[in-house]
Amino acid sequence: DADVTQTPRNRITKTGKRIMLECSQTKGHDRMYWYRQDPGLGLRLIYYSFDVKDINKGEISDGYSVSRQAQAKFSLSLESAIPNQTALYFCATSDAGTGKDEQFFGPGTRLTVL
C-alpha cells in the first residue's frame, strides 16, 4: 500500500543531543510537511517542502532544520534538543495535482527530551 512512514516511532533523548526524525512516502506526492502536536494546541507547522528544491519555514521553525533528500524523503533535525521540544511529531504529504490538496499523515513520532 502507498504509505507515509516515520522513523523512529518513539525516542527518548537528553538535552543538547542532535536528533533526526525521518519520513518516507510511497504515494508519489510532491509536497511534504513536518508538524508538531502539543496537548491543547492542535498541530503546528514546522517546515514544508513543495518539491525537492523548495524548503519553507512554517509557524515554529526555530530550533529545527530539514532536508529533502529526494521526492520521497523529508527529514527533520533538532540540532540541540531541549525539553520544550518534547512533543508528537507528524510528517504529512500531499499531491499538488488534486484540487483539494489533502494531506496524508504518517503515524507520528513521540519524542521526549529529558
Partner 1 sequence: AQKITQTQPGMFVQEKEAVTLDCTYDTSDQSYGLFWYKQPSSGEMIFLIYQGSYDEQNATEGRYSLNFQKARKSANLVISASQLGDSAMYFCAMRGLSGSARQLTFGSGTQLTVLP
Q: Which residues lie near partner 1 (CB under 8 A)?
A: 33, 40-45, 48, 50, 56, 58, 88, 90, 92, 99-105, 107-108, 110
Q: How far is the CB of 29 from partner 1 (least distance, A)?
A: 13
Q: Which of 92, 77, 89 is nearest to 29 (CA)?
A: 92
The residue among 80 and 101 lying less far from partner 1, judged by its C-beta, is 101
The residue among 34 and 80 lying less far from partner 1, judged by its C-beta, is 34
Q: How far is the CB of 9 from partner 1 (least distance, A)?
A: 10
Cβ pair 70, 52 in contact under 8 A: yes
Q: How far is the CB of 17 from partner 1 (least distance, A)?
A: 24
How far from each other are the two terminal CA atoms of the chain, in whole angstroms? Answer: 36
Q: Give the C-alpha distances (Å, rounded to integers) separating 75 from 6, 36, 100.
A: 9, 14, 25
Q: How many residues does the chain have?
A: 114
